[in-house]
Amino acid sequence: MVVDRETPAASGLLSEEEGMERLRDIRAFFDIPEDRPLNVVGIGAGAWGAVFMAMLEKQYGSLDPQRKLINVVIWRREGKTITTEVAAQLLETINSYPDVIRRLRKRGSYIKYVEARMGDRQLTADEILRDGFCANMIHLPLCPLNVVTDLEEAVWNADIVINSLPSTDARGVFERIGTSWKERDPNPEHWPVVISLAKGVECLTDPFPHILTPTSVLHSVTGLPQEKLMYLGGPNIAAEVWDGRYATSRLCGAEKYRKSLAVFLRSPNFVVWDHADVITHEVMGGLKNVYAIGAGIIAAATDRCATSMSVYFSNACSEMVFITHLLSPEPDYLAGPLLADTYVTLLKGRNSWYGEQLGRGLLFVEDGDSVPGKGTIQGVSATAGFYELLSHPSVEVKHPLTGEVVSPIDILPTLSALYKFLSGHDTVDLTPRSPAPFKKNRTGKVPPGLELDREGRVKRALEAVDDFVMAMKDASASDPSESLALSKLSHGEIYNPKLCFAD
């Protein structure tokens, strides 16, 4: 049955006159020759990456169908197949939008979705993306996108690259990209500007314990100058942004590029501000995903009790502020866009959703951090990264109240409890009260001989949730902002320059 619904989009577009003026301005800024288009390339096609590129395609690509002024393309790995169950959901979405049905019929593509629904054909993620559907957000159609599956081909002549890969995947992909750019031109000053949408961190111990933020990873593997690396973050839920809901973001980086790019990316319903502080925003981008998992667990355990969730929010924000003071000499305040981004992620992001599924026993930690239809849950690896950094024996800080030298993790009870809940280390027993002892190995899988049926897994998971809730109650016994002396922290007071390594 066809349900008459309107495809999201048009209301949030610039006028044709203003859009063309923006195109001329950005082409002039990058000194693009008249005989070729400005090449904007998306790397990765998760929900936010696909939506971001679809917004650029709809805003600017629609003004230039011959692609003489701008060419918007997106790269994703080929070969990921779509299950029959997902194909059924996808056909249901298609049939909810008459304009999408007409578009697919005009392209001769509608029948393949019927065949996939019947199990007579297998679709791939790159194939449906060309038709305007993201494998991680099948309930909402995008516009058709120009998809390239050859990485080197995609980036060879890029002027602007939008990275939306999870931080865990970016290193390997950008090593290849850096090699490609070096082959084309050995001078990094001639390489593209990269805008990173990625969240998460890498924790390394050589030559000393430190984390790498996504832009630092890209810098280290490509050699791209730091001033050409931007970070864009904000309180954005991909489906809501594409649906035309009003949203804001911050583009952080060197003033040389960020001002002009912020104007180019801005639209009536998607306002882009600019800011100089990359580190605080990237660190917060990773931290909010960590604490969002805990928010989801608390939401499940308390039946979304607003009062209990606000207590958790207070604890999480206090710890996030303390951690950013460790990692940045002059961190931006947890206010405005940073606070809003934290709020919406803890309320309604994929990491919060994941925590809630764990809290209800609908998903299990040992099944891993990749969830069909959702992609990678970035908060899982980020939790491990921050914990390993802040618990390393060589990392110390003066206790903000007593002056005693302690490990940072000792005064961060929420992060510590989250790590214990999610950890796959042999030494961590998540269910001390379970009748049958259970410890996960380093792969996150149940060791041989300790397999549990679903009822046992649910019971064990809910016991772990109870333990987490009790840990959060203990953490709230005193005011977290007072126990961390946040009001007395001055810029640079506890900053350790080695912990967030950029070179």
Active site residue ranges: 288
Nearest CA to 477 among 314, 322, 321? 314
Residue with structure tokens 């992060």?
A: 415
Determine the Cα–Cα distance for residues 339 and 197; give it in Å rounded to an integer: 18
Tokens representing 112 are: 């393949």
* Cβ-based neighbour number of residue 399 at 10 Å: 15
Nearest CA to 86 among 22, 158, 20, 137? 137
Determine the Cα–Cα distance for residues 365 and 371; give it in Å rounded to an integer: 11
Q: Does residue 235 contact residue 324 with C-beta atoms inside 8 Å? A: no
| Alpha helices (H) along 360-432 | 378-390, 413-422
Length of the chain in terms of residues written:
503
Helical (H) or strand (E) element with 119: none
Interhelix angle 306-327/413-422, rounded to 10 degrees, is 100
Strands 229-233 and 193-196: parallel
Determine the Cα–Cα distance for residues 94 and 140; give it in Å rounded to an integer: 9
Determine the Cα–Cα distance for residues 39 and 27; give it in Å rounded to an integer: 10
Q: Does residue 383 contact residue 415 with C-beta atoms inside 8 Å? A: yes
Residue 496 CA neighbour count, 13 Å, CB half: 19
Region of 366 on the Ramachandran plot (φ > 0 left; ψ -120 to 50 alpha; else beta): alpha
Q: Does residue 462 contact residue 174 with C-beta atoms inside 8 Å? A: no
Interhelix angle 378-390/278-301, rounded to 10 degrees, is 110
Q: Does residue 388 contact residue 204 with C-beta atoms inside 8 Å? A: no
Residue with structure tokens 């009003």?
A: 246
Name residue 289's amino acid. Answer: N
Question: Interior CA angle at 21 toward 15 and 27, to 5°?
Answer: 135
Strands 160-163 and 38-43: parallel
Whether the upstream peptide bond of residue 141 has omega within 30° of 0, thus cis, is: no
